[in-house]
Structure 1
Amino acid sequence: MAKTISTEELKAKIDGGAQDFHLVDVLSANSYEARHVPSAKNVPMGDDFIERFEKEITDDKNAEVIVYCSSSTCQASVNAAATLEDAGYTNVSHYQDGLAGWQDAGLEFAEGSK
């Protein structure tokens, strides 16, 4: 089962300029364009998730990956973490508070498709 990461831990990684991890928003492209955690890339959870993830994010099974969705009640990121682990990824974390936790902490969002 994937590890969890807190809002504070994730913010520290982003603020520290860490380049050694992949932050992935697994919500729809429309949701991602409206708002996302800064530095996140978008790979919506779906039937082609692993194929898109390997093509667009990384095929390095040892890479640090952090996935999130809308909130602690959203299951998309839980499913994404499990799917990644089933595909052989060994360093997967789940930011369980998601967009709601980021907002509740008063943190800034990024917008747009990048």
Structure 2
Amino acid sequence: MTATITRDELRTAIEAGEVTVVETLRDQHFAEGHLPGAIHIHFEEIGARAAELLPDKERPIVTYCSNTACRNSEIAANKLRSMGYVNVRKYAEGKQDWEEAGLPLEVPTAG
């Protein structure tokens, strides 16, 4: 079972720059808004893209998707652990919880 992180713990870690946050949804969902500073790796692409985008296997990583019903973050976290990443947790409540708490999402700017 993947270790989890609470919204408040994640917010603190993001603000301190202590974590790499990975959204595991499809491209269009990431483009519509993502957690501050998050990078995008669709859960099916973890094996192909993690080494390039997550070079430090010791750095804390948090995966997330849309909500508790979504399994993408769990699948991604398990794959990362199997690849030797040692500090991986998931934000099980996901983007829905973040938004419902009134916290901002980042939207990529064109240009």
Output the aligned Cα RMSD: 1.6
1:102 aligned residue: 98
Cα 1:54–1:113 change in 2 (3 A) is farther
Contact kept, 8 Å, 1:68 with 1:94, in 2: the verdict is yes
Question: Distance between the aligned counterparts of 2:82 and 2:27, measured in 1?
Answer: 24
Displacement of 1:63 in angstroms is 1.7
Displacement of 1:40 in angstroms is 0.4
1:49 aligned onto 2:46:
yes
Equivalent residue for 1:24, pick from 22, 25, 34: 22
Question: Distance between the aligned counterparts of 1:70 and 1:41, measured in 2?
Answer: 15
1:6 aligned residue: 6
| Structure 1 residue ranges, 4+ long, deviating more than 4 angstroms after superposition | none
Most deviating of 30-39 and 104-113? 104-113
Question: Distance between the aligned counterparts of 1:51 and 1:110, measured in 2?
Answer: 25
**Matched residue of 2:43: which SS?**
coil
Q: How many residues align?
A: 110
**Matched residue of 2:22: which SS?**
strand
Question: Distance between the aligned counterparts of 1:23 and 1:43, measured in 2?
Answer: 10
**Matched residue of 2:88: which SS?**
strand
Displacement of 1:54 in angstroms is 1.3
Tell me the percent identity: 29
